[in-house]
Amino acid sequence: MDSNGLIWQAEPKPENIPLNLIPYLEHVKNNGTTLVLWPEDSASAEDFARALDKANIVKFEGMVGQNLASWMGSWYFVRQHKLFDGLPTDCVMDWRYQTKGDENNGFLFWSPDMEIAAGYGRDHYHKVGIAACVIPYGKGKIVIFCLPNLITALYDTDRAMNTIITRKLLGNAVRIK
Q: Quick: pLDDT tens for 116-133.
A: 999 999 888 889 999 999
Is residue 166, in this structure, part of any structural domain at all? yes
Is residue 73, in this structure, part of any structural domain at all? yes
CA distance 140 to 35: 8
Is residue 114, in this structure, part of any structural domain at all? yes
Per residue in 97-123, pLDDT tens?
A: 876 666 789 999 999 999 999 999 988
Q: Confidence class of residue 55 from pLDDT cuts 50, 70 and 90?
A: very high
Is residue 163, in this structure, part of any structural domain at all? yes
Q: Is the sign of the CA dihedral 83, 85, 89, 94 positive or negative?
A: negative
Helices and strands per DSSP (H, E), number in the chain: 4, 8
Is residue 141, in this structure, part of any structural domain at all? yes
Is residue 17, in this structure, part of any structural domain at all? no
Q: pTM for the complete prediction?
A: 0.87
Domain hosting 150: range is 37-174
What's the distance, CA 134 to chain centroid? 11
Domain count, the chain: 1
In this predicted structure, which of 68-77, 118-127, 132-141 has the lowest mean pLDDT? 68-77
